Structure 1
Amino acid sequence: MISDLRSGPPPREIVGDVCIVGTGPAGISLALELSKKGRRVVLLEGGGPVYEQDSQDLYRGQVTGHHHIDTANSRLRQFGGTSGHWTGMCAPLDPLDFEPRNDVPHHGWPITRADLDPFYARAQNYLDLGPFKYDFADWAAKLPAKPLPLDPGKVFTDVYQQSPPTRFAEKFHDAIRDDARIDCWLHANLTDIVLRDGSDVVESMTVSTLEGAQTMVRAKTFVIACGGIENARILLNSRKQRSAGIGNENDLVGRYYTDHMTIETSTVMFNEGVDTALYPEEIQVGGALLALGLKIHPDLVRRLHLNNNSAFLVAQHDSEIYDDDFRNYGWIAFSTMLKTFSRGHVPDRFAEHYCDVVDDLGAVATGVYRHAVRKVAPSSRASVFKIRQDAEQSPNPDSRVTLIEEKDALGFNRIALNWRITSDDLLKLRRTHEVIGAAIGAAGIGRLQIGIPETPDPEVAYSGYHHMGTTRMHADPRQGVVDADCRVHSVRNLYMAGSSTFTTGGCANPTLTVTALAIRLADHLAVTV
């Protein structure tokens, strides 16, 4: 059932077994899984069914660190959450990402990749992906070309899958609406977490519309699933009973903010006749849409003290008509509208898509023109490629989200985002490019021109808008906000869901792991609630 707190007098209270705050991939996956297990779920969304500027304004904040990032436009406060912005790249984190590493301070989860594998497999369906297969060997026999002939003990071909991308608002709206065990409320903004007096138990949460209509939610267990920035902001603002904020006894909430550094710099020039057909384009095979890149072998990552990174080859054609640099939010919105209209339907979130197109009309026009010309232009295969990656950062406690004095319309303090880009992370990426270049040279198939100087310039790095780490998972409450079950260490019935719980970011886009962790949390809560 879906209700709207703005419609009519608010109920005196809302009651369920589990209260989930947030309707992005984490919140919706968790709610549906708990309902399957017979639990009554209260699902709260601060925004409405579509984009609304007054709700979106609550995400506005300051950027005080690296400035190639923003605090508002990169996320959506509406039903379906930021899955409305998501571009669909998926891969699980690697076993290496979960391991403690002596050479990388603060590295390592209290769970392993093997612990998550069963939940990764179940998450595939939520994201409209193919089978849970991400090893190149699983796909090699079905692919139309051979991989680059590199030493696999040094550099191997990495596999990602591409979601359509799944828009949770579109795919799961009817399932939430028709589920008698899910009580979903729109425009229900969390404004207070109330602990039972003198205890470590959440008794209730207060929710409010922007106009001031207010009610109380009671449940046995509460889960906050509002994203890597907002999860921290909510805990830091909950100071009525704990002066530093709930869960912040060790000054960890908001720390360890990590993102993926989107960088496209170094250039690979392949010799004439080298078959690169597998890499620059997505390939439909075996029920999945694959994107293939290059990755350093984990043994070499450990030995050279590198971060974990995947490198994708971006073709540099002689003619710009084959460049895809127009593929951004405006183009994605335009493509979504076009595909929906072609099926005889009006797109969901039409006004939002229209605004995205208008805001980036130049890129859309460029894309339309290039697609039209490609149909009649001679085919072109590039031999020169840029290396692009969403590069990993080492965990950094000084990269963080903090509160500022300015308050939003609900009375919550807004945030300052101090995203730190370190020379060490950039130098590790440079060394990664050197390893790839050496492997290409050793195979006699080309050469690589390093694009990251020995004195790195942080201006080359842009945010991947993958907000992670601000309520990180760790067995020790002095090193993390939540435990291995995503429960806040200092509160017995409060859990965090989503990428804020990541201890490391790895190099995989986070949505698959977010969904897997939500399914895992549902299984845990079904036993304890």
Structure 2
Amino acid sequence: MTIASELPKDGRSFDVCIAGAGPAGLAVALECEARGLSIIMIEAGGLQPRSTGLVSEATDILDKLRHGQMNVVTRQALGGTSWAWGGECIPFDRIDFEPRDHVPHSGWPIGYKDIAAWHGAAAKFLACGSPNFFRALSGWEDLASCNVDHIGRFSTSSNLANRYRNRLERSPNILLCVGKTVTGIEMDVSGSTVSGLNIRNSLGGATETQKARFFVLAGGGVRTTHLLLNLQRSFPHLLGGDSGPLGRYYMGHIAGEISTIVFNDPKDSVDFLFQPDSRKVYALRRIKIKEGVQKREGLLNTAFMLRNPAIGDHRHMNGALSLINLCLSNPLTGQRFFSRRLSSHSNVPPSPQRWKHVGNTLRAPMRTVKDIKMILQQFLQETKIPVLIGNNAGRYTLRYHAEQVPNPESRIRLADQFDRFGEPTLKIDFRFTDQDARSVLRAHEILDHELRMTGRGYLDYWYPLKERLAAIMDIATDGYHQAGTTRMKTDPQEGVVDESCRVHQIRNLYIASSSVFPTTGSANPTFSIVAFALRLAAHLSGVQV
């Protein structure tokens, strides 16, 4: 089999039909193939991403400040959102699976061990090296409330289309059909089994039906939810109707920067910068609030990472950053030579105090040359890690990345309008809560206290105390991490899928997406999406229908 633009004309059935060829769809397909199953993949995009598509055209975002536009947060193409993925691989923590009194609607029907068994396979699939995400840091054992042993690992081949296209083309058991959009789910007369997926050309045309034993929706959280909402409109008894869990609890992460972390000894920061191993896999240390402290303080899971200080702030005393600032100050060179990977964390505009930046550049010219060389080397690699270089002042932007509380009023629903193909459009009502923001601020306060008590440093806030909560909410936006709308729960009244990711009340329909996550933790979702997809493929290979 191969990559094609048309469905098979002989009406043949496959073991598995997968809607979507992003990280989740690819992982399910390749693992099913390894287990002897035949697979057809349906991808709305082509071999390269395009800026518009069905999801973006058929979606009304009610609060555009809170949720990114669909043509920004999604990609329709072989490889899906891996075209935009930064490559960071991080698993869930043990606490993420537990019911927590201070996190309403928390708790998974499975535990950490159930998915940790797939971490090794996910790490191999995503090319992020060893599945070891803990690295002890000697000398920091005196921290009572914080943990600095967690690391995120970065894929050396984050574009999955490039990584797996040749394998798909050589596969005897996988057929990838591009430019085809799944428009509906066809049920048999019992209403409990999917008989086929309705498919048409992404630009229009007649609808065809593809049959299989199993069907996997892997087209992203929003699109997967859209298909199920359409199905629910035809079968109102499914998934609790409009008051049920489908489309509710839409969440991602609350992230941003409100402070600078200052190390009293600048050398202490070295272990928190990007560190490559012998295989040139980069890892970045994360500062976490310990799980016991989270429970005691009623906090949502939060991680902190270092980023470059504001390039325009000469106090960083780094010659390379000052040189970049000087270039950014020049309209002829700023946009031409420097990308957002360098300037995205420049929360202070390029400084007019040029002589101080010139002084930084000349203070240690050999160090400046070394850092510029490192920056250029990182740009030449496929790894999309943000450029982060050490500085003699021990000053860094502190980025936070935290979970949201599951909120049933944050949701996706069908609208009363229809798109140009006659399909109901979507309304996205994506919300952050006060609990999200207050938890982030309290986590900062705990870290600041810990740094001061141990003499390690302190946080230099960018806003007065009374303005910090508002600042966190002002910059809160997501839509990249589409979680919660088909959440995993044992009870069909509380969730959409069971512990095997099978849709409740339907024998052969499964979901491979972060939309099944009941909570999001502090981790970026791609690594866990792939781990769950591989676990799902193993499950399918042992099911009889």
User: Aligned match of 1:265 in 258, 261, 283?
Assistant: 258
Q: Which residue of 1 aligns with 2:166?
A: 174
> Contact 1:486 / 1:497 at 8 angstroms: preserved in 2?
yes
In 1, Cα distance between equivalents of 2:278 and 2:370: 30
The CA distance in 1 between the partners of 2:41 and 2:70, in whole Å, is: 24
Counterparts in 2 of 1:47 and 1:157: CA distance versus 1, 3 Å: same
- Assess if the C-alpha contact under 8 Å between 1:130 and 1:289 holds in 2: no
3-state secondary structure, aligned to 2:49: coil
Q: Deviations over 1:23-78 (max 9, x none)?
A: 01111110111111111111111111112356366555222136142222111011
Residue by residue over 1:250-269, the C-alpha shift from the partner in whole angstroms, topping out at 9 and shown as x without a partner, is: 52211111111121112222
Change (3 A) 1:324 1:29: farther
Task: Give yes or no for the alignment of 1:201 onto 2:193.
Answer: yes
Measure how far apart 1:420 and its partner are: 0.8
Secondary structure of the corresponding residue to residue 72 of structure 1: helix
Deviates more, 1:434-443 or 1:156-165: 156-165
Deviation at 1:318, TM superposition (A): 4.2
Taking a change above 3 Å as real, the CA distance of residues 37 and 54 of structure 1, as seen in their structure-2 partners, is: same
Q: Which moved more, 1:201-210 or 1:235-244?
A: 235-244
Q: Which amino acid aligns with 1:50?
A: Q
- Aligned-pair CA distance for 1:114: 0.6
1:200 partner letter: S
* CA deviations over 1:339-397 (Å, ceiling 9, x no partner): xxxxxxxxxxxxxxxxxxxxxx96563349989x8537898434222220222111111
In terms of mean alpha carbon deviation, does 161-170 or 80-89 score higher? 161-170
Task: Write out aligned runs for 1:471-486 (5 A).
Answer: 471-486=486-501
**Any conservation in 1 of the 2:97–2:108 contact (CA below 8 Å)?**
yes
**Aligned mate of 2:274, from 279, 282, 285:** 282
- Number of the residue aligned with 1:82: 81
Mapped partners of 2:55, 2:146: distance in 1: 47
Counting matched residue pairs gives 484
TM-score, normalization by structure 2: 0.82
> Which of 227, 233, 236 matches 2:229?
236
Map of 2:9 onto structure 1: 11
Distance verdict in 2 for CA 1:34–1:301, change over 3 Å: same
**1:25 corresponds to which of 23, 30, 37:** 23
RMSD: 2.8
Q: Which stretch shifts more, 315-324 or 378-387?
A: 315-324
Q: Does 1:467 align with 2:482?
A: yes
1:407-429 deviations in Å (ceiling 9; x for gaps):
33433222222211111111111
SS in 2 for 1:185: strand
User: Distance in 2 between the 1:98 and 1:30 partners?
Assistant: 23
In structure 2, the CA distance between the partners of 1:57 and 1:426, relative to structure 1 (3 Å rule), is closer
Q: Which amino acid aligns with 1:366?
A: F
Q: Identity of aligned pairs, percent?
A: 30
Distance 1:255 1:390 in 2: 22
Residues 311 and 318 of structure 1, relative CA distance in 2, 3 Å threshold: same
Matches of residues 490-509 of structure 1 in structure 2 within 5 Å? 490-509=505-524
User: Contact conserved, 1:156 with 1:295, CA < 8 A, in 2?
Assistant: yes
Alignment partner of 1:276: what SS? helix
Partner of 2:409: 398
Are 1:383 and 2:394 matched, yes or no? yes
- Contact residue 45 and residue 178 of structure 2 kept, 8 A: yes
Give the C-alpha shift of residue 204 in structure 1.
Answer: 1.1
What is the aligned partner in structure 2 of residue 312 from structure 1? Answer: 305
Whole-Å separation in 1 of the counterparts to 2:291 and 2:515? 25
Q: Which blocks of at least 5 consecutive residues in structure 2 are unaligned?
A: 310-315, 326-332, 344-360, 362-367, 373-389
Q: 2:435 aligns with which of 392, 417, 424?
A: 424
* Mapping 1:311-350, distance limit 5 Å: 311-316=304-309, 317-318=316-317, 321-322=320-321
Q: Is the 8 A contact 1:264 1:389 kept in 2?
A: yes
Q: Are 1:51 and 1:78, in contact at CA under 8 Å, matched by a contact in 2?
A: yes
Query: How far 1:400 moved relative to its partner?
Result: 1.1
Q: List per-residue Cα deviations over 1:227-253 (Å, max 9, x = no partner).
A: 111111111122563148777575221
Return the TM-score normalized by structure 1.
0.84
How has the CA–CA distance of structure 1 residues 266 and 40 changed in structure 2, closer, same or farther, with 3 Å as cutoff? same
Structure 1 regions of 5+ residues with no counterpart? Answer: 141-145, 327-360
The SS at the match of 1:487 is coil
> Does structure 1 retain, via aligned residues, the 8 Å contact 2:153–2:283?
yes
1:489 to 504, 508, 515: 504
Q: Which residue in 1 is equivalent to 2:107?
A: 108
The 1:13–1:365 alpha-carbon spacing in structure 2 relative to 1, beyond 3 Å, is same
Partner of 1:412: 423
